[in-house]
Structure 1
């Protein structure tokens, strides 16, 4: 249930209608398909989607865009849903949320889990509410699977009954308490899901869900069709190679030929910058999160004090929070003591994990062809102007100007070489004494 924004899910619940036009026949040429698809698009409600790697500036862009388009923001961030996790998730400030309504922010306690299926339902209903109020939905975040399901739809996986859910919880509860992950995985594998062994270690939510689906349907989760795969397969066989070189429009063949079947007119933008600049920005951002009395360490302390353990559920697995909780846990084991070397080791791990996360985001979205990649190093006003024009003038295609384009891949060997030799250069934490105030705070609060 959405607890902030203009409306609640209970009072504004309506599924978007299907396209009025049937899918186009594959025997048509690409150009004819594109013309018909463009005509269909004019009849659809527009939804803007903005993504990008962590630290790319997508939240600021979305906020300014919402102001200029009379929009509201739907967060597609798997950490911003949690109350109290503000600094580490770069959550919009209270003033920003007063200025522009935000949905799916601060809707859960950190002890609760939140799934991609729940996000799909909540985000789609929030979008419907925003449109019904005559405003523009702007979905922003970097959680790739959230956005993929939001755009293409969720798999038609059966819901488990309360009886099966209770049974699964009983089977896995003791194993989770004992942190016996391997035995739990083998239990699910024997139940009928061999792919359970490839789940991330300690991802108990997905393990429980896998067992629920297997017990409910007799088939593992992988047996159910994923809507995104259908769009991708249609795109792969619908564009003739001889004509694909003429495309200089929105996305590639998959989106041009099949987006007529999507529920909305999704206008998707991916904001990024050159990898070296992005990595430096991420490193500085991690430092900034440690400054002041109410930084990420204070939030990690609060999580520990509520009885949560690092890497035990969705909130405590989040990058930054996991590393901070593990660091404070070690400090507590040492009677509230930490050396400068231990602090710098924690900071290094935090920065490295954040950069690796950005790298995974870039890899994920490189294959999401519906997104137009924009250069985040350009002036904000320039990017805003382009997206504003795209929204108002959209007719099925709008090429990105050369000066705003961002390559999906590393542009040259020189950049690749510099990335391999990249080393963090901090701004605030350089010498041992630079972290003395944090070590003093630890000695006072972590005994």
Structure 2
């Protein structure tokens, strides 16, 4: 894991930041609405921003427990590639929804919603503070705004869909599966990421259960959605109030908990550099992400075949190991191609996370390059001072997009600059491990 100097939070001795203690919080009427509601803290951010460390330290100060909103940390054995909190961290602060599934099982956003909401209720009943943290956008959207009113499929429907899709999945005929769902009545299947077999099955299940595509059902988030051209949360609240009167839409004050939501990020260049270094760290050593990917292959799983094997890093590592099996080993060039692809996929994922959360007006954007103690102090005070809308101090504010020409040009010229893996000799141990493991691993090749 990174120390945080490049992309995540920086750590240093605490010096009081008085403006954090004197910040202005607005919206007294909103506070009156929320005063009886239990308060829940949500911390999100792109991969590598330092949100897990922030959540851990915050939980210590607030007597809190953490609910993981990470679609990979639910899986046992997928520790390195998901940046799972260490066992010692989990002993110090209780974590929920980590290590609850086998990698061969699919885990859905619906399951997360039910289990995360149950965990939140248990934490509150124990007198502790729920701190929900993770970067899976859809998980957090459902968690905050509610679960779409989509019918649950019967066992018979699930079996029927499985029978129709399984042969196509076995031979990898993704295009045929998409056309099957399109013909059944859901053209949006054409926009799914390739080989997202879980979602293609779920779409077909909904159609068969209800006669309608998923888009026909009410999505709670739509009732809270930001109005066009609303630049900030305050405008969102005001416009939502107007919509309440005219269109029946709702404002954040109508949510069942008093949510304080924060999105932690860094200047884009720093974030990308941190991600590249983090990928190097995950690949390093004999017990890194390649070893975990090997275990997935030994279970008979194929890359991109279910939730666990679609995860960034694991899919890349599994494909690389299968290539090594076909070639009888790995060249230096192949290893660096794998590492570069892993880093690029991780940066692209972070970019998608940034795009997703720009459209989530309930989040307060925080600059992860600021000192940890400053950020902790601000969020800690935000929890205790219940007077309405949170105003992030200027010193901690994070821009939501690239606005300066210099920054845009820097990003266009971005190039990976590895710390550990630079030349042939730096990957020698990994290539040797791959060579020795060929006779020990059960790597099936289609």
Same structural fold, with TM-score higher than 0.5 when normalized by the shorter chain: yes
Partner of 2:354: 362
Change (3 A) 1:70 1:375: same
Partner of 2:227: 236
Q: Relative to structure 2, which stretch is displaced further, 249-258 or 209-218?
A: 249-258
For the Cα contact (< 8 Å) 1:155–1:224, is it kept in 2? yes
What's the TM-score once normalised by structure 1's chain length?
0.88
Partner of 1:207: 200
Partner of 2:158: 165
Partner of 1:395: 387
1:255 shift after superposition: 7.1
1:230 shift after superposition: 1.1
1:163 shift after superposition: 1.5
Residues 314-353 of structure 1 correspond to what in structure 2 (within 5 A)?
A: 314-335=307-328, 337-353=329-345
For the Cα contact (< 8 Å) 1:88–1:321, is it kept in 2? yes
1:425 matched to 2:383? The reply is no
Rounded Cα–Cα distance in structure 2 between residues aligned with 1:421 and 1:59: 30
SS in 1 for 2:272: helix
Change (3 A) 1:281 1:362: same
Which of residues 246, 266, 272 is equivalent to 1:279? 272
Partner of 1:17: none
For the Cα contact (< 8 Å) 2:48–2:278, is it kept in 1? yes
1:38 shift after superposition: 2.4
Partner of 2:64: 71
Per-residue Cα deviation, 1:331-368 (whole angstroms, up to 9, x for no partner): 01112x11111100100000000001101111111111
Q: Relative to structure 2, which stretch is displaced further, 282-291 or 254-263?
A: 254-263
Partner of 2:180: 187
Which of residues 280, 293, 301 is equivalent to 2:294? 301
Change (3 A) 1:34 1:394: closer
1:438 matched to 2:430? The reply is yes
Rounded Cα–Cα distance in structure 2 between residues aligned with 1:332 and 1:103: 37
Change (3 A) 1:250 1:308: farther
Per-residue Cα deviation, 1:168-204 (whole angstroms, up to 9, x for no partner): 1111121211212222222222222222222211111
1:250 shift after superposition: 9.9
Partner of 1:62: 55
Please list every run of at least 4 consecutive aligned residues from structure 1 whose deviation after the TM superposition is greater than 4 angstroms: 247-252, 254-257
Change (3 A) 1:167 1:435: same
1:394 shift after superposition: 2.2
What's the TM-score once normalised by structure 2's chain length?
0.88
Rounded Cα–Cα distance in structure 2 between residues aligned with 1:427 and 1:352: 16
For the Cα contact (< 8 Å) 1:373–1:406, is it kept in 2? yes
Change (3 A) 1:254 1:72: farther
Partner of 2:258: 265
Partner of 1:109: 102
Per-residue Cα deviation, 1:20-79 (whole angstroms, up to 9, x for no partner): xxxxxxxxxxxxx95533211111100000000000000000000000000000000000
Q: How many residues get paired?
A: 406
Change (3 A) 1:254 1:141: farther
Where in structure 1 are there 5+ consecutive unaligned residues? 1-32
Change (3 A) 1:230 1:365: same
Rounded Cα–Cα distance in structure 1 between residues aligned with 2:179 and 2:275: 38
1:226 matched to 2:227? The reply is no
Rounded Cα–Cα distance in structure 1 between residues aligned with 2:283 and 2:252: 43
1:411 shift after superposition: 3.5
Residues 11-160 of structure 1 correspond to what in structure 2 (within 5 A)?
A: 35-160=28-153
Rounded Cα–Cα distance in structure 2 between residues aligned with 1:254 and 1:185: 38
Partner of 2:23: none
Rounded Cα–Cα distance in structure 2 between residues aligned with 1:126 and 1:250: 32
For the Cα contact (< 8 Å) 1:250–1:370, is it kept in 2? no
Change (3 A) 1:131 1:250: farther
Q: Relative to structure 2, which stretch is displaced further, 160-169 or 277-286?
A: 160-169
Partner of 1:23: none
For the Cα contact (< 8 Å) 1:41–1:395, is it kept in 2? no
1:432 shift after superposition: 1.2
Partner of 1:24: none
Rounded Cα–Cα distance in structure 2 between residues aligned with 1:204 and 1:249: 40
Rounded Cα–Cα distance in structure 2 between residues aligned with 1:400 and 1:218: 47
